[in-house]
Amino acid sequence: MTTNKALAQWITEIAALTQPDHIHWVDGSDDESARLTDGMLADGSLIRLNERTHPNCFLHRSASNDVARVEHLTFVCTRDKADAGENNNWMEPAEAHRLLDGLYAGCMRGRTMYVIPYLMGPYGSPYSRAGVEITDSAYVVANMRIMARIGTQALAHIEAGNSFVKGLHSIGQLDPEQRYIMHFPEELLINSFGSGYGGNALLGKKCHALRIASWQARTEGWLAEHMLILGIEDPQGNTSYVAAAFPSACGKTNLAMLVPPAAFAGWKVWTVGDDIAWLHPGPDGRLWAINPEAGFFGVAPGTSLKTNPNCMRTIGRNTIYTNVAVTEDLQPWWEGIDGDKPAKLTDWQGRPHDPANGPAAHPNSRFTVAAAQCPSYSPQANAPEGVPISAIIFGGRRSTVAPLVFEALDWAHGVFTGAAVASETTAAAVGQVGQVRRDPMAMKPFCGYNFGDYWAHWLGVGERVTRLPKVFHVNWFRKDADGKFMWPGYGDNMRVLKWIVERCEDRADARHTPVGLVPHANDIDVTGLTLSPQTLDALLAMDPEIWQREVAAIREFFGTFGSRLPEGLRAQVERIERELERQRAA
């Protein structure tokens, strides 16, 4: 129980509505965790993996219709529809409450209601924020325990008088027809029903740390972003920090844990966060970032000792796997993992694997693991003040158009570059995969308010922050005529990071184009890399005609935000159009 009256009253109210058999206040202890795990092993919601090869690792198979975020069922319920914006589904708050309260009525009969006090951000940080998630899923408790700081200490933070976000979650009947992820930013409230998966159900993550926090950040003058945070240590021992926003399943976890290629002796990448960054203007005029999360909920397919050795060394123990395949001796398996494909596999739905049924592991299968287990976990990851950000990187998954890397001309152009991000859709959300869509700042699914107001807020940060980070755009996913990736990616992305760090220190060259500053081929350190000069030229090409079409598409997209589109972005479109036309005519 709790001494916080508002919290106690809310719990009483929700218990009366949902009618659970038991109420369990989660304290976050090892004992409690062991008891919950035993319960899930007994009821089949967890399967113990090979204890010799993967100690304390478990598999969870979700319902086959509940395997990803559901953007079409995710709503932002503000009093004024225009505050949610074209970028969000909207429902009138009273109507949304009626609908959800109807679904919640009696939904926990025969179940236990878990109350999870949690803190997003390091203990003792002025930037950390509390929440309380009510859930009827023990699997959610087990995941929240890894992803956030939960239990007694978080409750003490709330009882000390700090505000908290309320999140009510029930798996309901796991019926996709009765599934809603609802946000009430004006009430600091989240209502989630009918899904047990990832961002739909672990409410501290996307619902709180992005949708609600982005709303709070706007009114309070900071930024809540879908960004990894990493430190780059050079051979002299200087570390610069960068934050990078790529859409879901577009490489954040991989970049955050990068191992530099052999030719980069003395360079080292430190992981601060892999998915979410909260950025605050600091007393020294720089932007300082904390990772509000404590764990990684990462994409399994494609992860191997070749692509992400630090990750493989992180997920060998104390890890919950969701929707991966398993070998005969109960080791987790997915497409892209090291070694030959075993002859016998059990697929993510528990059937003998038959390639006719699709991949053995679900393309959005995931691991949940404590960040502290990562060999590259930064010693600064829990610093209450965060880390100072030298560069912000935007990126997307584009088989064409976007070059390997370019730098924005200034902050306002950087905001344009982020707002213009487009990316091919992935399995992280339900829907068609591989469709190019605009995903501004990688926040299309996560911005809790009108994108027009959001971009105005970003432009405003440029007025208030005196030592602004430089802004860059990257694309690891360019393809050649045969559909093959042109850039090796993964560890070799270090070559691009190095140019970025050097640009921040005015030590590297670039050529000016209307779209941004692009490295010359010899500005990228390709020591030890086999890449033809033609391929590198193609990766760094900026074709004015292709970009004229791209900017026309950006202009049209911006147009959908009407009068909420800030003048500063309209001016960027016009400048680039003018300069591209001049370049084409020359």
Return the DSSP state at 340. P
Q: Indicate the residue among 281 and 298 with the shorter CB distance to ligand GTP.
A: 298
489 binds, among ligand GTP, Mn ion, ligand SPV, none (CB under 5 to 8 A by kind): ligand GTP
CA angle 66, 70, 73 (to 5 degrees): 120
User: Is the separation of the CB atoms in 390 and 505 below 8 Å?
Assistant: no
Site string for ligand GTP, 482-521 (x = CB under 6 A): ---x---xx--x----------------------------
Q: Which of 107, 207, 250, 447 is labelled catalytic?
A: 250
The single-letter code of the amino acid at 94 is A
Distance CA 345, CA 560 (A): 48
Q: Which residue has the tokens 């003792």?
A: 124
CA 383 to chain centre: 21
Exactly one of 70, 141, 428, 504 binds ligand GTP (CB under 6 A); which one? 428
Binding-site size, ligand GTP (CB under 6 A): 22
Minimum separation from the CB atom of position 297 to ligand SPV (A): 5
Q: Indicate the residue among 392 and 459 with the shorter CB distance to ligand GTP.
A: 392
Exactly one of 66, 83, 136, 275 binds Mn ion (CB under 5 A); which one? 275
Binding-site size, Mn ion (CB under 5 A): 2
307 binds, among ligand GTP, Mn ion, ligand SPV, none (CB under 5 to 8 A by kind): ligand GTP
Pairing mode of beta strands 74-76, 89-90: parallel
Exactly one of 166, 179, 205, 495 binds ligand SPV (CB under 6 A); which one? 205
DSSP per-residue codes, 245-264: E--TTSSHHHHHT----TTS
Q: H-type helices in 21-170, by residue range?
A: 30-43, 81-84, 93-104, 138-147, 152-159
User: Is the separation of the CB atoms in 162 and 130 below 8 Å?
Assistant: yes
Identify which of 60, 56, 48 has the alpha carbon closest to the alpha carbon of residue 329: 48
Q: Is 253 near ligand GTP (CB under 6 A)? A: yes
250 is catalytic: yes
Site string for ligand GTP, 457-486 (x = CB under 6 A): -------------------xx-------x-
Sign of CA dihedral 479, 485, 486, 489: positive
The single-letter code of the amino acid at 545 is E
User: Is the separation of the CB atoms in 497 and 504 below 8 Å?
Assistant: no
Chain positions 324 to 363 lying near ligand GTP, rule: CB under 6 A, are: none
Q: Indicate the residue among 205 and 286 with the shorter CB distance to ligand SPV.
A: 205
Segment near ligand SPV (CB under 6 A), from 82-90, 128-136, 199-207, 315-323?
199-207
Q: Indicate the residue among 278 and 558 with the shorter CB distance to ligand SPV.
A: 278
Distance CA 127, CA 279 (A): 9
Q: Which residue has the tokens 């308010």?
A: 449
Q: Is 267 near ligand GTP (CB under 6 A)? A: no
253 binds, among ligand GTP, ligand SPV, Mn ion, none (CB under 5 to 8 A by kind): ligand GTP
Q: Is 251 near ligand GTP (CB under 6 A)? A: yes
Tokens of 224: 């809540």
Encode burial over 211-231: b for 16+ CB neighbours within 10 A, e otherwise.
bbbbbbbbeeebbbbbbbbbb
Q: Which residues bind ligand SPV (CB under 6 A)?
A: 69, 198-199, 205-206, 248, 275, 297, 428
Q: Which residues bind Mn ion (CB under 5 A)?
A: 248, 275
Q: Which residues bind ligand GTP (CB under 6 A)?
A: 246, 248-254, 274-275, 298-299, 301-302, 307, 428, 476-477, 485, 489-490, 493
Catalytic residues: 250
